[in-house]
Amino acid sequence: MCHGRGEIPISQTRHTGLPSTGKGLDLARHMTMQWNYPNELPVVEMREEILAAIRENPVVVVVSETGSGKTTQLPKMVAEALGENGGRIGCTQPRRIAAASVSKRVAEELKVPLGSYVGYQVRFEDKTSRETQIKFMTDGILLAETQGDRDLKQYEALIIDEAHERSLNIDFLLGYLKRLLGRRKDLKLIISSATLDAGAFAEFFSHAGNPAPVIEAPGRMFPVTEFFLPPFDDEDLPQHVSRAVDYLADGRAKR
């Protein structure tokens, strides 16, 4: 049943693992979380299938085009799948701006202050705390953490988002995590990609001779139209960007 602004509410008490203060109901240790899933996002249609795959497999590959909501909704689904005693979830993004903006969006959806249950860490900025259970970060931050914690023991699950970009950091992380899964039998790994070429990821993370399951979520929510403006010889890059913004703002792209 849909509630409010087209959201699917799922309540669950999360135990954060923090020490008790001994003062009645300790909110730091017991937080009733409502997983508000906006049902207009295509990836939400696959929620039950994604939850089952996460619970039953060490590695899951989720494929969905840009605009499906996978970046904001997958961390909540992983937290729900891990259950009330689930540990910390690490979510990597290739860029700092994305890590910060996505964490703010997820915190808003869960109605929690940024830096509490949901936080982020990028270079020179750390908006996390001991309470943080969903931590967004750049892939470079996670790589740096392997230097001091080779088994990444603070995480029960990791989400590698935008894996299709195949940057040096992402490829190094995927190779590292494949070896780590041999030592961390309890670790859950979710690989998120915007392309349908997921077979390579599934084969690379084969378990007991079987490829990792691949879940294909519905495509992008909004159509994307490309417009090309002819360059001017005397125009530098900032001027070109400004002209493109003016073109869209004036509504000429709609005609």
User: Average pLDDT, stretch 106-122?
Assistant: 96
Q: Tell me, what's the pLDDT at 196?
A: 63
147 vs 197, residue with greater confidence: 147
φ, ψ of residue 99 in degrees (nearest 5):
-60, -45
Q: Tell me, what's the pLDDT at 13?
A: 54
Alpha carbon distance 128, 120 (integer Å): 6
Q: Tell me, what's the pLDDT at 21?
A: 35
First to last CA, the chain: 39
Q: Tell me, what's the pLDDT at 36?
A: 86
The pTM of the full predicted model, rounded to 2 decimals, is 0.78
The answer on pLDDT for 109 being more than 80 is yes
Q: Which pLDDT tens digit goes with each residue over 197-246?
A: 788 899 999 987 899 999 998 766 566 678 788 878 778 888 888 888 88
Q: Tell me, what's the pLDDT at 221?
A: 57
- Specify which of 4-13, 59-68, 129-138 reaches the highest per-range mean pLDDT: 129-138
Tokens of 192: 């998120």
The answer on pLDDT for 56 being more than 70 is yes
Question: Which of the four pLDDT bands, split at 50, 70 and 90, describes residue 252?
Answer: low
Q: Which pLDDT tens digit goes with each residue over 60-96?
A: 999 988 888 999 999 999 999 999 889 999 999 999 9
User: What topology is assigned to 41-216 in CATH?
Assistant: Rossmann fold (3.40.50)
Q: Which pLDDT tens digit goes with each residue over 157-184?
A: 999 999 988 889 999 999 999 999 999 9
Identity at 153, one-letter amino acid code: K
Q: Tell me, what's the pLDDT at 22?
A: 38
Mapped onto helix, strand or coil, the DSSP state of residue 231 is coil
φ, ψ of residue 214 in degrees (nearest 5):
-115, 125
Distances (CA, A) of 245 to 186, 231, 238, 241, 253: 48, 14, 11, 6, 10
Question: Which of the four pLDDT bands, split at 50, 70 and 90, describes residue 135?
Answer: very high
Q: Tell me, what's the pLDDT at 117?
A: 96
